[in-house]
């Protein structure tokens, strides 16, 4: 069930149904891919696991790598992946990742790959958000940021009311209608006294800067 009153033509209702499904399966699939790609390195780590706890794994020191040697040599040719098509573009990116991993041991390499998957997942989310967010909503995020991350309820109501009254395209929208998109995509959080920008919202503003994306959007 969708959470907003968006027009079907905007595709937002369908995204609201599709995105949670993608989010639910993304990490299990990522974990399987990482485990398969680095099964040899992970296999070497298993006998060294001494303790497992909330902070992760504690490994025994085998004394390896102290001679300055680097991690396992990466394959010069990409192995076929059963049931998966490898385009030229995918092969290029795979080889660049293997190159990045050449001077990393198994533990560091795994951390590097997981970080890359997390960054890619976040960027994918932000591109979807940017495709539908209103320019005035980006302005509101920047306003929250400049006010120590939060606006009190009175100031928030004034800002949103002025925005809705200035643009007839919003029709009879109320404050909650206007803020729903930001909340549904975890860009802002409600507080006991008002509204604050979330950690995801902070990163979204960094994303806009990183890709030099304009704030000038519809509405």
List of domains in the chain: 27-45+75-132 (no CATH), 133-210 (1.10.10)
Least confident interval from 65-69, 90-94, 143-147, 182-186: 65-69
- Tell which residue, 169, 170, 204, 171, has the closest CA to residue 185: 204
Q: What is the mean pLDDT of the chain?
A: 80
Angle separating helix axes 88-101 and 106-132, nearest 10 degrees: 140
Q: What's the pLDDT at 219?
A: 87
pLDDT given at position 101:
87
The per-residue pLDDT for 206 is 97
Is residue 111 within 8 Å of 77, Cβ to Cβ? no
Residue 169 structure tokens: 């395209």
Q: Give 52's strand partners.
A: 57
Contacts 24+ apart (CB under 8 A), 175-180: 177/4, 177/5, 178/137, 180/3, 180/4, 180/5
Query: pLDDT at position 28, please?
Result: 58
| Lowest model confidence (mean pLDDT) among 73-77, 145-149, 200-204 | 73-77
Q: Does 1 score more than 60 pLDDT? A: no
Each residue's pLDDT tens digit, 105-154: 888 989 989 999 999 999 999 999 999 999 999 999 999 999 999 999 99
Average the pLDDT over 164-179 and give the result: 94
Query: How would DSSP label each residue in 125-144?
Result: HHHHHHHH--HHHHHHHHHH
**pTM of the predicted structure, to 2 decimals:** 0.63
Q: Which of residues 12 and 215 earns the better pLDDT score?
A: 215
Q: Higher pLDDT residue, 100 or 74?
A: 100
């Amino acid at each position: 069930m969708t959470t907003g009153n968006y027009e079907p033509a905007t595709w937002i209702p369908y995204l609201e149904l599709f995105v949670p499904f993608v989010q639910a399966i993304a990490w299990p699939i990522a974990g399987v891919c990482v485990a398969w790609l680095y099964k040899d390195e992970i296999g070497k780590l298993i006998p060294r696991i001494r303790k497992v706890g909330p902070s992760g794994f504690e490994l025994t020191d085998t004394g390896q790598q102290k001679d300055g040697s680097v991690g396992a040599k990466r394959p010069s040719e990409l192995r076929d992946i059963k049931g998966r098509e490898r385009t030229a573009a995918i092969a290029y990116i795979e080889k660049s990742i293997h190159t990045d991993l050449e001077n990393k041991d198994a533990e560091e390499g795994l951390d590097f790959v997981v970080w890359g998957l997390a960054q890619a997942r976040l960027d994918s989310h932000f591109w979807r958000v940017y495709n539908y967010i209103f320019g005035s909503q980006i302005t509101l995020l920047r306003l929250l940021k400049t006010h120590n991350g939060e606006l009190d309820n009175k100031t928030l109501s004034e800002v949103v009311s002025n925005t809705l009254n200035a643009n007839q395209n919003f029709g009879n929208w109320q404050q909650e209608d206007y803020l729903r998109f930001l909340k549904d995509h975890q860009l802002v959080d409600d507080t006991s006294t008002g509204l604050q920008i979330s950690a995801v919202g902070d990163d979204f503003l960094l994303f806009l800067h990183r890709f030099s994306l304009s704030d000038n959007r519809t509405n």
